[in-house]
């Protein structure tokens, strides 16, 4: 705007020359009009805030969903970032877990190794325990008597000698103890045939003669196992009691009729030995091992040892492995047998080889040897048996216990 060039004096002169204006209205009307105008002005001043408020509300309604969507988007974004962060951390956590598991696995492997070593030590210890050995030895007797009973297997093919240690009882004769134990045998529990007590009357006369009387329908007339088990039991009884003769009767008549032997008035007690011992596992108790003499006698112990490397179809298994080579067999004295194992023989300090040694010892005993020296350079001991030293043969095969 162009600046006015009028000064104050000129303005005063201009105003004084203007015509006079007169207002003929009543003063009260003028006041009323002014009041009305002021009221209207106040109303307009209140309308403006109301409109502003409405606009603010409208703006809030418009913006809130967007704000909520933005918050949700932000939340989702944060969750995604968190998930991504977790995903990024998972390999690291997995690595840490693997390291932890590896550490725990290492500890577990260390524990397994320790347990294995302990098991090996326990196994080595158990080899020294008497339960590992099938036969009876002098150290097993302490203050007891040994009774051996011949029991047929369940197939009726083999006679299994079972040996029982019975504590000595003051005032009781061995003969009475023998007959008592006969009624307590647990043949079926041992995986063998029920055979005892014998269906016969037993008595002793003249302090050296065993008298055996059976009924006319006795069960030992037929069947090879029954006949052999019956006669072998009588031989063992006579040997245990130190008797010289066994007389046989059918009721009061002299002699007992057998399908295998014919009519026998007496039992031959001459030394019927030279047998080889084999492994036998009963069908009803396959984990139970018995060492059983094969009924066929051998002319020499060399022949017996060679035969013990082969199975026999009658349920008898080889007791000497094929990879054990006995390169030398000779007598070191009247009652000592000297064996030499080839250095290439695969032998270990394990229960299976302990049982092989036992079979060798029992076979040597059946050939009337009392001690055996086994020469082998790769081991000092197999179980309790010292290599290159004298080993006493067992007292009897297949020890069993009768628990009341």
Which 3 state secondary structure label does DSSP give 315? coil
Containing domain of residue 310, as a range? 275-400
Whether 192 maps to a domain, the answer reads: yes
pLDDT in tens, 86-102: 444 444 444 444 444 44
Number of domains in the chain: 2
In this structure, are 283 and 379 located in the same domain?
yes
Which class for 180: exposed (0-12), middle (13-18), buried (19 or more C-beta within 10 A)?
middle
Is the pLDDT at 82 greater than 70, yes or no? no
Residue 52, token pair as written in the block: 């502003």
Same domain, yes or no, for 320 and 383?
yes
Q: Express as a percent the part of the chain with pLDDT over 70.
A: 67
Claim to verify: residue 342 and residue 259 sit in the same structural domain: no
The alpha helices in 129-253, defined as continuous H runs, are 138-141, 174-182, 224-241
Give yes or no: residues 289 and 393 share one domain: yes
Let me know: does 391 contact 361? Beta carbons within 8 Å: yes
* Cβ atoms within 10 Å of 99's Cβ, excluding its own: 10
* 163, 189: one domain: yes
The phi and psi torsions of 21 (rounded to 5 degrees) equal: -120, 130
Query: Hey, CA dihedral for 283, 289, 292, 294, is it positive or negative?
Result: positive
Q: What is the pLDDT of residues 205-245, one digit of tens each?
A: 998 999 999 999 999 998 888 898 999 889 988 988 889 99
Q: Residue 153 and residue 191: Cα distance in Å, rounded? A: 7
Instruction: Tell me, yes or no, whether 4 lies in a domain.
Output: no
Residue 257 has a pLDDT of: 94
Task: Confirm whether 104 is domain-assigned.
Answer: no
Query: Can you tell me the mean pLDDT for 155-160?
Result: 89
Looking at the fold, whether 242 and 197 belong to one and the same domain comes out as yes
Nearest by Cα to 276 from 356, 162, 333, 178: 356
Most confident of 73-77, 105-109, 115-119, 263-267: 263-267
**The pLDDT of residue 251:** 92
DSSP H or E segment with residue 209 = strand 209-214
Q: With respect to residue 5, please indicate whether it lies within any of the assigned structural domains.
A: no
| Nearest Cα to Cα of residue 26 among 34, 15, 37 | 34
Q: Which is it for the CA torsion 225, 228, 230, 235, positive or negative?
A: negative
Domain-embedded: residue 24: no
Q: Are residues 175 and 208 in the same domain?
A: yes
Instruction: Please say which residue of 219, 244, 264 terminates a domain.
Output: 264
- Say how far apart CA 127 and CA 114 lie, in whole Å: 20
145 & 259 share domain: yes
CA–CA dist 340, 378 (Å, integer): 12
Q: Does the structure show a pLDDT above 50 at 73?
A: no
**Residues 280 and 346 reside in one and the same domain:** yes
Residue 1 covered by a domain: no
In the 8-state DSSP scheme, what is residue 141? H
> Per the domain annotation, does 94 fall within a domain?
no
- Of the three residues 238, 264, 290, the one that is the final residue of a domain is 264
pLDDT tens digit string along 198-214?
999 999 999 899 999 99
Q: What is the pTM of this model?
A: 0.67
């Amino acid at each position: 705007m162009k600046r006015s060039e009028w000064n104050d004096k000129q303005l005063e002169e201009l105003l004084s020359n203007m015509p006079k204006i007169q207002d003929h209205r009543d003063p009260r009307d003028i006041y009323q009009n002014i009041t009305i105008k002021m009221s209207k002005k106040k109303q307009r001043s209140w309308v403006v805030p109301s409109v502003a408020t409405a606009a603010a509300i409208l703006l809030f309604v418009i913006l809130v969903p967007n704000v909520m969507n933005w918050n949700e988007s932000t939340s989702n974004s944060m969750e995604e970032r968190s998930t991504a962060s977790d995903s990024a951390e998972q390999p690291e956590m997995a690595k840490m877990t693997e390291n932890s598991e590896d550490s725990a696995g290492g500890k577990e492997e260390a524990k397994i190794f320790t347990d294995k070593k302990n098991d090996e030590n326990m196994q080595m210890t158990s080899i020294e325990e008497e339960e590992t050995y099938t036969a009876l030895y002098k150290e097993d007797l302490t203050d007891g008597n040994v009774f051996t009973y011949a029991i047929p297997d369940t197939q009726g093919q083999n006679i299994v000698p079972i040996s029982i240690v019975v504590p000595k009882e003051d005032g009781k004769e061995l003969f009475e103890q023998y007959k008592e134990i006969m009624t307590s045998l647990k043949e079926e529990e041992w995986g063998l045939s029920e055979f005892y007590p014998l269906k016969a009357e037993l008595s002793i006369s003249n302090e050296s003669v065993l008298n055996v009387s059976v009924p006319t329908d006795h069960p030992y007339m037929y069947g090879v196992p029954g006949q052999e088990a019956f006669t072998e039991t009588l031989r063992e009884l006579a040997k245990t009691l130190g008797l010289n003769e066994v007389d046989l009767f059918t009721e009061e008549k002299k002699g007992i009729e057998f399908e295998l032997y014919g009519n026998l008035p007496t039992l031959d007690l001459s030394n019927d030995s030279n047998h080889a011992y084999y492994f036998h596992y009963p069908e009803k108790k396959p984990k139970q091992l018995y060492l059983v003499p094969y009924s066929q006698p051998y002319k020499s112990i060399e022949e017996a040892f060679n035969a013990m490397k082969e199975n026999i179809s009658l349920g008898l298994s080889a007791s000497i492995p094929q990879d054990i080579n006995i390169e030398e067999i000779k007598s070191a004295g009247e009652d000592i047998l000297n064996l030499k194992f080839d250095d290439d023989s695969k032998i270990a300090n394990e229960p299976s080889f302990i049982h092989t040694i036992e079979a060798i010892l029992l076979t040597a005993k059946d050939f009337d040897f009392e001690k055996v020296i086994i020469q082998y350079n790769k081991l000092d001991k197999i179980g309790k048996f010292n290599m290159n030293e004298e080993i006493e043969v067992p007292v009897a095969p297949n020890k069993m216990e009768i628990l009341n």
